[in-house]
Chain A
């Protein structure tokens, strides 16, 4: 009897306690906004969670995130489920995914040309279907205390002292890896770029399938340098109070990576999706994205007075362009054949 009474009492105690602490009750008549994206955005660690909370407070709706492993799976998923369940918003495509996304799925036209953004990133708004919500500068990252001299250019990376000291990513599976590939070709041209890539194949420590694996090698001191972002040292400074990590300025202009959002044409809650984008591009939304993703906001005002502001002055940037499907194909095929050694065989 004692057990029973304690049991019932505990159940009610927990019920009452959780009732008073629970979040706002979901109204069954509420609309649901389905947002497709990557886990690094949608998880609690990413900006998605806070944006969702903010949005749910004002929209009288529910936001549901759907994650996908990579852009290929993301697009397949939208094709499979979009028409039935409804894909209202897609978040996290980068410039290399855009044309592929356009060729596979129909998108709603968006007009955000009036946004107050930095001029250098204005070309990212030139397309009619996708709007950028953050951006980053690709750079090599290392440790200040490292005895090796800091590399100053892509060519420097080929020096024997850096052999097996650099962690790179496979461009077929990783977005920064793709940026590196494009960086090489943009800076050196096709022929020289190919030669450079042939040499870097034997020079790099590894070509990881993802940024996180490569950065893991760096964090665990298996390598001295890793391809990452200009803002990566900020994470270590702000979160770990570690000021020893730095990003290097190269003589070649650094590529910029944008992350875009778009609304599929067969969206079910299209206006809610637009409102969500508006929130992402608001000052508050941009701050959330900046602080969680450690990327630059597209709206200038969001970074004022933050450690990002001084870094954003970095102006040694390559011109932004949205590559066509054939450009992306060329890059990947060329990389694949060099990596396989086909070029060497010729």
Chain B
């Protein structure tokens, strides 16, 4: 038995090493002599926790309110359009457009830590809503219909059924947003003000002001360790009930929530799309920069598809190696280092010529996304599947058979969904690409270059094209998933 588990443990170890590789590269690249200042560290930590906590609270509240709206639109309009993507858009748009949109929505916009929390909450509550919608649909659809038939009031249903069953999921979503906001960089830098400085900005200051990479790596490591320790608190959610697509989930849906949030988003996107419209006026620029835009589109597609496929491969590997031991705890708690550190780690590693650059960007993005996706619910889902594994194992199936015949058919849909989401995000990546690339290889970088040449309208237009490409790549992954599903059921 032990012998059988050896290769598995080694593979788990190798995967963990891969995920830790940015830290390791930087650790060996720079001599570790640090100037540690507890005061500034604790102060930045306090700010990080404050921002993370309130961002997560607001996002969860927003997500909880949005989820019934999403269920409503999924029950009514899902055949026409995937509204989830619409609510995930703020997660994807460049910060400038988010800020401009929000500033036109909230005027005057409160700068400082409150501003940071508002921006984070706005960016993340759509994601929370989408995750919680999935949770509610899978766990509560049946109960909702039963409660409806038995005549329970809606309030009673929410208090006595919904809350006890999904509170651990909410905690998980809370942790997801907390981690994101805790280690956010660009937003606190713009709207945070001096007192909004968090650990990521402290890391940046160490690099930029003191050229002190070793302390920066150490702070990042300590930050990851703390989040890891935090994740050890056991709030893993439980028992997924299979969903019957014919269920109505009457009590779970809310028309008001859907229209309210749609209105909010429309107001927000108005300013964005008015920018895009201004960009359309400078349509002639397309002809001037056809070559750059074409190569940017190809670069973006390569990165997006590469990241999507890479994430799929990584998720498959994780699924194959998954155990509810230290491996799960590591994946659930580990936080990838900041984009600046990942970018720099890959920059110093090996040559920086065309194909290597693309490969490095793809690997860097995979590293920063896979852990996030695991926390987004994939890890929990794998835990739910543990019982099937155990049953199959008791019946004598070996690991390979269990994976291909039991686990893969159950997980492939989610794997494709998460790969699609990762590919969607990758189309808009700016941080890691900017660090590693030696020219504007993607449309996101090109959009930023246009911005630095006064052409904000055209930059908005390019970001819109990015959105469309992201959507197409996402749908392509969905298409492949449909085909693979048919193949599995064939």
Contacts and interface: CB of A to CB of B under 8 A. Distances in A.
Interface of A: 39-40, 42-46, 65-69, 72-73, 76-77, 80-81, 84-85, 164, 170, 172-173, 201, 205-213, 215-217, 219-220, 222, 232, 235-236, 239, 294, 329, 332-333, 336, 338-341
The 6 nearest A-B residue pairs measured at CB: A339-B194, A212-B451, A212-B452, A66-B438, A45-B453, A219-B456
Contact of B190 (A73, A208, A232): A208
A332 B206 CA distance: 12
B465 to A, nearest CB: 17
Contacts of A67: 437-440
B292 to A, nearest CB: 5
B108 A73 contact: no
Contacts of A46: 453
13 contacts: A43-B449, A73-B347, A80-B347, A80-B348, A172-B204, A212-B448, A216-B456, A219-B454, A236-B454, A239-B454, A336-B209, A340-B197, A341-B194
Given A39-B440, A338-B194, A206 B111 contact: yes
Nearest to B39: A342
A43 B209 contact: no
Nearest to A343: B194
A336 B201 CA distance: 11
Given A73-B435, A210-B452, A212-B448, A44 B289 contact: yes
B207 interface: yes
Given A76-B348, A219-B456, A220-B275, 5 more contacts: A39-B445, A45-B289, A211-B452, A213-B95, A220-B456
Contact of B352 (A77, A201, A222, A333): A77
A267 B190 CA distance: 38
Contacts of A219: 454, 456
Interface string B452-476: 1111100000000000000000000
A219 B348 CA distance: 37
A14 B445 CA distance: 30
A69 B209 contact: no
Contacts of A205: 111
Nearest to B349: A80
B162 interface: no
Kindly state the interface size class of chain B when it binds its partner: 35 or more
B108 A164 contact: yes
A295 B426 CA distance: 35
B267 interface: no
Nearest to A293: B453
Nearest to A38: B452
Interface string B237-261: 0000000000000000000000000
Contacts of B450: 45
Nearest to A338: B194
A341 B446 CA distance: 36
A66 B193 CA distance: 33
Nearest to A213: B96
Contact of B100 (A81, A220, A341): A220
Nearest to A202: B193
Contacts of B384: none
Contacts of A39: 439-440, 445, 448-449, 452
A340 B195 contact: yes
Contacts of B347: 73, 76-77, 80
Nearest to A329: B209
Given A44-B292, A67-B440, A209-B186, A333 B96 contact: no
**Most B CB within 10 A of own CB, among A81, A85, A222, A340:** A340
A84 B352 CA distance: 11
Contacts of A336: 205, 209
B177 interface: no
B205 A172 contact: yes
Contacts of B353: 85
A130 B16 CA distance: 46
Given A39-B452, A210-B452, A341-B194, A72 B207 contact: yes
